[in-house]
Structure 1
Amino acid sequence: MGIKNISWKEELKQELLKIGIESELFISDSFLLMRFRENEQLFLHLITIDTQPGCRETLQLQQDYLAEGKQLIQLWEDVWQNRTVQVLSRISALLGRNKRIHGRKTNILSITQPQADQFLNQHHLQGSATSRYRYALLLNDQIVAVATFSGKRKMIRKHPDYTSAELIRFATADGFTVQGGLSKLLQHFIKTLQPDDVMTYADLDWSYGKGYTKLGFELVAQTPPAEIWLDTQKMIRYFPHRLPPELNLIVAELSAAERVGYLNSAHYFSVFNMGNLKYILHL
């Protein structure tokens, strides 16, 4: 496996300390967690690939913390290794350490897909994704936030002329929080495209979607945890239906048990996420 021999949990702790964040590792019911001195409501659940807990147990742990008004983030070993800078930035933001910029001081600019890719791959935990519309907020000619959207899609089951669009990505530059930034970009998109609603997803590994609720979005659904296959040599994640074609051809002919054995022999190991919360802003 493409896993470092040194403890990635200790590496995380050391990297946080370098930016002034003191943390503590502790065991709770066999789960390895991290807490922070400056915020008693935020916790990380650190998940190592080859000693991971069960999906059901992990989901229950998250729900238990949520019931106590606490936020529990699921941080996987491969995510830390692949997106170290973005993980540190996200934790800093959750701890309220970012420099605040007022959205009203920024200007909106339409940008290209390559420009969005460059910014999102640098600042978003999940990197970039293909989009139809892309907008940036500029402060002193520097991009400080980007939001990307799909085109309008007809929702005939609701009404022949009803259209919906998706907010695909939103990110701010490392170390910055743009107050009112997402709202400003969202309203610009709505005014320009005039959809009947805008939908989006909150990644339950990292967010409960409270920011969307503040913007008027309504929680309409929750998707269950999803199985994911991790290529531990290239450290790339794949949903089962998106495995490389050469693998799909082989595993399609195998039983469930045979499939697991074959993928493990090819250095693919099963991981999972916590699912997503689906939000809709009705206009």
Structure 2
Amino acid sequence: MFLEDLNQNVSLLGFRRVIDTSDRWRHDDLAIEIQGICMGEDYLQDQKGIQIWEDVWQTRKAQVIHFLTALTKPLKSVFARDTRIVPISAEAARHFLDANHLMGFSKGALYVGCVVPPHRQFRGIGSEFSWEGNPLVAVAVFGKPLVMKEAGLEGELSGELIKLATLPSIRLVGGITKFLDAYHAIHPVQNVMTYIDLDWNSGKGFLSIGFKVIEQTPPLFFKLVDGKRIAVTQNQDAEVWTKGNLKLRYYYAN
């Protein structure tokens, strides 16, 4: 049922099943591969394709489709210079991220939104989300700045980018940099770190603006309890596991 439902949806985006498989699809024009993984079945982890686990499809189907659509369809370009970064409430961030981020909302210390100010709304940039009457097109969650103890960075103030999501219908050109600059204006940190989930993202966009790879973390293991992922420490207890994460760090110029 899961694989057939996945097939029906991804075929509309130009994906075709790989010959002699029931759980792999490829977009020939874009050389993107995806794999659907049924719960409770052994599989060989493919480090190249996008993994779509059955439980994620069941709980975040709309978000997965939005994600794949953004990879395969032309998006409207919105330039960060036509927007403004402003602090928003946790409630507004939750509403936006639950709808637009693959993994939904996460708590943080600072919630900021990218809005289209009144004098730029003539460009026709719309959104079903808003903040103080202005279209809300992206949201980021940052953690509390911490004093580093890591060798070589002792005493430096470091921030964390926890979540970032944009409307699936747009490409926010310069958006990550604008969020980072806005965070730095509020908290004068020396660097910001973030994690990239390798199940979904290679981190290419972050690396292109100056993030550096610090390490690749090992896979995370989970079991399902009432349809929710619960972390486990023993591999043999796992029903779901990830490819791990890339730990990235962005250093602000002195």
Task: State the TM bucket, normalised to the shorter chain.
Answer: 0.7 to 0.9
Contact 1:38–1:95 (Cα < 8 Å) also in 2: no
Residue 277 in structure 1 maps to residue 246 in structure 2: yes
Q: Residue 271 of structure 1 aligns to which amino acid in structure 2?
A: V
User: Which residue in the other structure is 1:47 paired with?
Assistant: 37
Q: Residue 94 of structure 1 aligns to which amino acid in structure 2?
A: L
- Superposition RMSD on alpha carbons, in Å? 2.1
* Identity percentage of aligned residues: 30
Instruction: Give 1:216's match in structure 2, choosing from 210, 214, 220.
Output: 210
Instruction: Give 2:136's match in structure 1, choosing from 143, 154, 167.
Output: 143
Pairing of 1:70-149 with structure 2 (within 5 A): 72-139=49-116, 140=121, 141-149=134-142
Kindly tell me: are residues 215 and 31 of structure 1, through their superposed partners in 2, closer, same or farther at Cα, counting changes over 3 Å? farther
Contact 2:6–2:36 (Cα < 8 Å) also in 1: no
Residue 177 in structure 1 maps to residue 168 in structure 2: no
Structure 1 unmatched ranges of 5 or more: 1-6, 66-71, 242-255, 261-268
TM-score by length of 2: 0.85
**Residues 57-111 of structure 1: per-residue CA shift (max 9 Å, x gap):** 31xx31xx4xxxxxx1011111111111110111111124322211111122210
Whole-angstrom CA distance in 1 between matches of 2:160 and 2:184:
11
Question: In terms of mean alpha carbon deviation, does 96-105 or 205-214 score higher?
Answer: 96-105
The structure that is helix-richer by fraction is 1
Contact 1:229–1:238 (Cα < 8 Å) also in 2: yes
Contact 1:147–1:182 (Cα < 8 Å) also in 2: no
Contact 1:100–1:179 (Cα < 8 Å) also in 2: yes
Whole-angstrom CA distance in 2 between matches of 1:52 and 1:235:
19
TM-score by length of 1: 0.77
**Residue 191 of structure 1: how far off its partner (Å):** 2.4
Contact 1:92–1:98 (Cα < 8 Å) also in 2: no
User: Which residue in the other structure is 1:35 paired with?
Assistant: 26
Pairing of 1:2-41 with structure 2 (within 5 A): 7-17=1-11, 20-26=12-18, 32-39=23-30, 41=31
User: Which residue in the other structure is 2:228 paired with?
Assistant: 236
**Residue 27 of structure 1: how far off its partner (Å):** 5.2
Question: In terms of mean alpha carbon deviation, does 112-121 or 98-107 score higher?
Answer: 98-107
**Residues 150-174 of structure 1: per-residue CA shift (max 9 Å, x gap):** 1110113446631111000000113
1:207 aligns to what SS in structure 2? coil
How many residues are aligned here? 235
Question: In terms of mean alpha carbon deviation, does 151-160 or 106-115 score higher?
Answer: 151-160
Whole-angstrom CA distance in 2 between matches of 1:209 and 1:104:
23
Structure 2 unmatched ranges of 5 or more: 122-133
Pairing of 1:194-205 with structure 2 (within 5 A): 194-205=188-199
**Residues 172-209 of structure 1: per-residue CA shift (max 9 Å, x gap):** 11322211111111111112211111000000101111
Pairing of 1:254-273 with structure 2 (within 5 A): 260=237, 270-273=239-242
| Deviation beyond 3 Å, 4+ runs, structure 1 | 156-161
**Residues 197-235 of structure 1: per-residue CA shift (max 9 Å, x gap):** 10000001011111110110100100111211112xx31
